[in-house]
Copies of this chain bind each other. A is one copy, B any other.
Amino acid sequence: MARGVALTQLRWSDLDAFDHVNNVQIVRLLEEARVRVFWPATPAEGTAASTTFDPKSTVVVARQEIQYSQPIPYFSDPLVIEIWVGRFGGASVDIYYEVKAPESAPPASYAIAMSTIVFLDKETLRPRKLYEDEREFWGRFVDEPLEFRRN
């Protein structure tokens, strides 16, 4: 019952012509954090894995929301991305994120975000209910959902 943490390196190429991390690249970093925390063992690394590797399933991102607080400069040390499950649907999870400064830098929060991930049957591409062991796996990362500022 705790947030996961992904230590995620920036790349110089994440900077755009305004010389700070491009807003789209921040969405890219969220994806990378998600892979690092929730799909921790990849077939390439040769380990067995959770039901998130069920070969009869696939996942899609159905929705994302991102709120940026301040520009991110290039850091050579990895950003700290906290990531957790804020809400379970029948066939989906709402993943929340907070993007923070590297451990070696003064504390800063740069962005918060959420993604709705839907589990699909690979054949029919229709949503399918989360399995019990998936609920157990994702349940380890439950924390409060965030509120977004909306007009």
Contacts and interface: CB of A to CB of B under 8 A. Distances in A.
Which secondary structure characterizes the binding site on chain A?
Answer: mixed
Interface residues of A, number: 49
B13 A28 contact: yes
A78 B77 CA distance: 13
23 contacts: A11-B35, A13-B16, A13-B32, A15-B16, A23-B31, A23-B60, A24-B28, A40-B76, A42-B73, A42-B74, A42-B75, A42-B76, A44-B73, A44-B75, A45-B74, A60-B71, A62-B67, A62-B68, A63-B65, A64-B64, A65-B66, A87-B151, A89-B151
Interface of A: 8-9, 11-13, 15-19, 22-24, 27-28, 31-32, 35-36, 39-40, 42, 44-45, 58, 60-68, 71, 73-76, 78, 87, 89, 94, 105, 116, 148-151
